[in-house]
Amino acid sequence: MRYLAGLLFVVMLAVPSAAAAVPPTVPAVLDRLAAVPEGFSGIVGVWRQGQPVHLSAHGRISSPLQPVRWASVTKSVTAVLVLQEVDAGRLSLDAPVSAYLPDWPVNGDATLRQLLMHTSGLADLSATPDVDGDGMTDVYQGQGPGWRALCGGPARAPAGSGFTYNNCDYRVLGLVLEAVTGEDFETLVRTRISEPLGLRGLRLAANEAVSEAFDGTRPEPEVDVSAYGPAGALYGSVEALLAFDQALMDGRLISDDARAEMWKAGPETGYGGLSVWVYTVNLEVCGIETRAIERQGAIGGVQVRNMILPDLDVALVIWTDQAMLDMGEVWMGEGLTVDLLSAAVCGPA
């Protein structure tokens, strides 16, 4: 019932008419955004107890339903697709890459779990050359040898040797999914995520260089977002991302056991789960301590914060085209993101 109500809200927003629904807002969220010293440009959305309670656009963004760059939040979608295959018995988190990609040339002993947790030892695409010195590595501008040659090149370290964030891990997971299912990443997203959940407009980036956001006061360097693939190439509305979060909480995407595996984390893993970080957050103004599931994303001038508080049935998405905006760190209990979480949890709807 909650999902149907949320879906009805999305449909009402998508149908232009004189009586079209006005997106709901939480005054405490608007008040906090108004207090950003440099001004806030972006979109903020909140779902609470399965219902949309806030959706607003600010600054250079004209519509809260505008499709935007999800950046590395894409990794959570990729993780869900992997876990669907685990649920089906076609993948094992602790099997090596070589079991599914026998010709993969480097660190074939890295497990799928290690890929999901960035402990595979593979190369870091973001550390590859930026010949023109514009602040964006060549591979993300469609130049140089391409991601596959770079990811299959010399490894940074042996598999399992420690955490190093990199996009090669999720690029290789995309190859594993394709090998096992016979479908490419774009088709899997469409048939297993967007169509079942009614997420119209969720898509992969076009194969073109764009500049859509700001690095400080300057436009970001041109970037071919499609080069990120399963690591960061999805575009969709903030509302669609919140609907994805809700479906994940409700068990409509993966089994409860798979979700528990995805969200299992502690000091021994640096609080890293499978594509997410999991920790306890203290929302002092609400008088609440609760579990938080966090997925950050950033490409060029775009920043994204996707926060799920599963024990409170709350999801928050902050999307901005301001690369230099200080979003704060929720695990430290301070900053813009934790303030907006507090407003989402205990601000009146």
Structural domains of the chain, with CATH: 2-346 (3.40.710.10)
> Which burial class, exposed, middle or buried, applies to 82 when counting CB atoms under 10 A from its CB (0-12, 13-18, 19+)?
buried
> Which burial class, exposed, middle or buried, applies to 209 when counting CB atoms under 10 A from its CB (0-12, 13-18, 19+)?
middle
Identify whether the C-beta of residue 308 lies closer than 8 Å to the C-beta of residue 46.
no
Identify the H or E element spanning 277: strand 277-283
> Phi and psi of 223, rounded to 5°?
-140, 135
| pLDDT of amino acid 333 | 87
In angstroms, the CA 212 to CA 85 distance is 35
Quickly list DSSP for 237-276.
-HHHHHHHHHHHHHTSSS-HHHHHHHT---GGGTTB-SSS
Which strands sit side by side in the sheet containing 42-48, from one edge to the other? 51-58, 42-48, 314-320, 302-309, 288-299, 277-283
| pLDDT of amino acid 349 | 47
For the chain, which residues score pLDDT lower than 70? 1-21, 348-349
Identify whether the C-beta of residue 43 lies closer than 8 Å to the C-beta of residue 238.
yes
| pLDDT of amino acid 200 | 86
In angstroms, the CA 111 to CA 172 distance is 11
| pLDDT of amino acid 215 | 86
* Token pair listed for 310: 């599963």
In angstroms, the CA 47 to CA 316 distance is 7
| pLDDT of amino acid 19 | 42
In angstroms, the CA 18 to CA 78 distance is 39
Place of tokens 């008419």: 17
* Token pair listed for 72: 């590395």
Helix axis angle, 238-250 to 2-14, nearest 10°: 170
In angstroms, the CA 106 to CA 214 distance is 36
Between CA 228 and CA 98, with CA 165 as vertex, the angle to 5 degrees is 75
Q: For 209-230, what is each residue's pLDDT tens digit?
A: 999 999 888 999 999 999 999 9
In angstroms, the CA 119 to CA 117 distance is 6
* Token pair listed for 8: 């009805």
In angstroms, the CA 54 to CA 80 distance is 26
Place of tokens 């409860």: 256
